[in-house]
Structure 1
Amino acid sequence: MMKRARQDAMVENAAPQTSQENKKQKTCFYGSAFSESDPHGSIDWGSLPHHVILRIFQCLPLVDRARASSVCRRWNEVFHIPDLWRRFEFELNQPATSYLKSTHPDLIQQIIKRHADHLQYVSFKVDSSTESAEAACNILSQLVNCSIKTLGLISTAKPSFMNVSKAHFASALTVVFVNSKSLSSIKIDDTPVDDPSLKVLVANNSDTLKLLKMSSCPHVSPAGVLCVADQCHGLKELALNYYILSDELLLALSSEKHVDLEHLRIDVVSENPGQVEFHTIKKQSWDAFVKHSPKVNIVMYFFLYEDEFDAFFREETPVTHLYFGRAVSKAMLGRIGLNCPRLIELVVCANGLQPLDDELIQIAQRCKNLTAMGLGECEVTCRGFIEFVKVCGGRLTQLSIMEEVLIPDNDYSLDRLHLEVSKHLGRMWFPDMMPTWMQFDAKVTKTLQVKCGIYT
């Protein structure tokens, strides 16, 4: 009670502040007016310095940023500062095929008129409709005053860009290739890009191009990619389909004038079994390539049927990351153990009903760099799996195995298995559990890829 009385007396004796004193109290570091008792309600947002408003705008989603620009003239000026338009993603969707909202047409026109020359990191994300892909091409065609460094064309579902006429697509892409002059990264997977377009790219951006991703581009020939490799000596990352890969291309990437390649991704795809005859890359070409770029990551994604693997891994192949999206035979896995000494990551989504003990143990023994493994619809005995982990030891940092893969034997139950595996790994480990309502489908496939670190 005495404490409360003293507090009341202090309040009664406190002299009331004048309006001038109150105004001084509200002055903040930025020159805005804050009240210590009410810091939110007394902010003079219009008096914030440009760099503070710019920072606020950078944290806002695009829609909120556009709305904020209408608060006052000063905020509208900040809205158009070039730094806000270096990076932009155009989203183009049709209501009939996508639930996602598109970038507003008025904003697109404003960008083209006022900020085309500010754009540096640009991507187009479209749904499966041809209309969205054509809209993206129309925008590209208008970027005549641009200085783009990174360009990405992303289809959230097929067919999208592949339904656009080749002439329309090539014309739109050429506008950017000719006017940018400083492109360093291009991602144009699943598009109708062709060899003449690549020649335009090389003619205008050969000194700056470092990354080129163009898997599933049926109009590109080995000659087109070879043109890129021959003249873009700074190229560090390349992604393409296997049918484009050739001995000549690897040798071009191995020339003295070419920088070390850091990442080569190869998609080996077959839609109709028996219709494609896969060629073999010579060991001498692989050797020259790795000698020139000793630290290169070579990632191969296989989507073949079991009888289509004959051309692969008959000789030593310097692949570092392997992913098999369809069933692969025991014989193929045996060849991997014999001929892939640089292997770092291996994901096998399906094999069959034959235990893979010997093949896995051989891979562990001969692939000294193996650090990640994922197994889906396969079979391995508990004893064989423990032996595999024992050989790999602590270097096996990623291990994703479905419980259904493991076959208990007389020596090891599933309960004892996790203790043995944990001991050899040097950390606690359990097999992955598959929910009873989920069959082994694309979701599980992606889980394996993510856990083993090769999903891109």
Structure 2
Amino acid sequence: MLEYEKISETFSTLPPDKLDFESLVIEDNSVESHCWRAEVLKDLRKFQRLRIEDSSRTSADDLARIIKDGYCLRELSLSYSQLTEDLLRVIARENVSLQTMRVEAHTDTKPLVKISDSAWATLQTHSPNLNLVITCYLEDDEDCEVVLAPPVTHLYLGGSPSSRIIRRVSESCPRLVELVINSCSSGIIDKELLMTARGCPELSAIGLGDCEVTCSALVQFAKICKQRLQILYVWETSLIEDENFDIADAVSNVSSSLGRSWTPEYVPPW
């Protein structure tokens, strides 16, 4: 089976960096993590991209100071467990011009905290063009629902989310531009796919790994999205022929709707 990371790493529609960012990674056992206060925080003005991989060494106060003092910060990557409503309001209140926020959600020992829609709305009002990228490795439906938020623009669902979660995407993420689903163990997701096409009017890229979709649903999906759908990545083994379309007919109809030649991804049998 094609690994989820291989799907997502070549799939993102985010524009490539045009600047030579000054980057900083805070991770366990790194030099920066051991001299965090003494060295890193003394001059945040040069940092434009920051990734925090070791949440245990980074307090909420430190993170808030980064936002307040790092007014050149353009990209912030952190764990969902580090997100708080206060932090989002700091970002919205301070003179910060984030272009991209990347958030990874992993199963934690404590329940994930739900960020209120009002806190997300405050961030969206302050940064209407923010790329909010959520990578979700959660298996529990309730945890998955927690991380779905209205400002999300790029969503990567690792593991094997249920059809319920895929359905919730269309209801919770109206600004979605890109969606990648690693796999789905709940059977055919025709209804969920069509809900996403209708509920996410800005969707321009979708990748389906080990999922089940009928040819009829895929044809209808392409008719709804039409030429705004710049990337359509579907495994050939995920397509189910039905009484209306076989795979060849579906490919022809999808190509017509997209206005370009399209074919599903061939997956070797080994």
Alignment TM class, shorter chain as reference: 0.7 to 0.9
Asked if 1:352 is matched to 2:185, the reply is yes
**Amino acid of the structure 2 residue aligned with 1:321:** H
- Find the aligned partners of 2:34 and 2:118 in 1 and give their Cα distance: 27
Structure 1 residue aligned with 2:217: 384
Structure 1 residue aligned with 2:245: 412
Given that 1:394 and 1:424 are in contact with CA atoms closer than 8 Å, whether structure 2 keeps it comes out as yes
Structure 2 residue aligned with 1:209: 47
Q: Structure 1 353/287 Cα, relative in aligned 2: closer, same or farther at 3 Å?
A: closer
Q: Structure 1 296/285 Cα, relative in aligned 2: closer, same or farther at 3 Å?
A: same
CA-to-partner distance for each residue in 1:156-215, whole Å, 9 max, x for gaps?
A: xxxxxxxxxxxxxxxxxxxxxxxxxxxx32134555554961564222x23222211123
Identity score, percent: 30
- Find the aligned partners of 2:133 and 2:27 in 1 and give their Cα distance: 16
- Find the aligned partners of 2:110 and 2:33 in 1 and give their Cα distance: 21
Structure 1 residue aligned with 2:130: 296
Structure 1 residue aligned with 2:59: 221
Asked if 1:311 is matched to 2:150, the reply is no
Given that 1:199 and 1:228 are in contact with CA atoms closer than 8 Å, whether structure 2 keeps it comes out as no
Deviation at 1:224, TM superposition (A): 2.0
Unaligned runs of 5+ in 1: 1-148, 151-183, 438-456
**Amino acid of the structure 1 residue aligned with 2:86:** E
1:97-108 equivalences in 2 (<5 Å)? none
**Amino acid of the structure 2 residue aligned with 1:240:** L
SS in 2 for 1:431: coil
Structure 2 residue aligned with 1:370: 203
From 168, 174, 192, give the equivalent of 1:341. 174
Given that 1:202 and 1:232 are in contact with CA atoms closer than 8 Å, whether structure 2 keeps it comes out as no
Given that 2:71 and 2:97 are in contact with CA atoms closer than 8 Å, whether structure 1 keeps it comes out as no
Q: Structure 1 191/214 Cα, relative in aligned 2: closer, same or farther at 3 Å?
A: farther
Q: Aligned Cα RMSD in Å?
A: 2.0
Report which of the two structures shows the higher radius of gyration computed on alpha carbons.
Answer: 1
**TM-score, normalised to structure 2's length?**
0.86
Deviation at 1:304, TM superposition (A): 1.1
SS in 1 for 2:64: helix
SS in 2 for 1:317: coil
From 282, 289, 293, give the equivalent of 2:116. 282
Q: Structure 1 196/225 Cα, relative in aligned 2: closer, same or farther at 3 Å?
A: farther
Larger CA deviation: 206-215 vs 346-355: 206-215
Structure 1 residue aligned with 2:154: 321
SS in 1 for 2:101: strand
- Find the aligned partners of 1:198 and 1:211 in 2 and give their Cα distance: 18
Deviation at 1:382, TM superposition (A): 0.9
Deviation at 1:353, TM superposition (A): 4.2
Number of matched pairs: 249
Q: Structure 1 251/200 Cα, relative in aligned 2: closer, same or farther at 3 Å?
A: farther
Given that 2:70 and 2:96 are in contact with CA atoms closer than 8 Å, whether structure 1 keeps it comes out as no
Deviation at 1:335, TM superposition (A): 1.2
**TM-score, normalised to structure 1's length?**
0.52
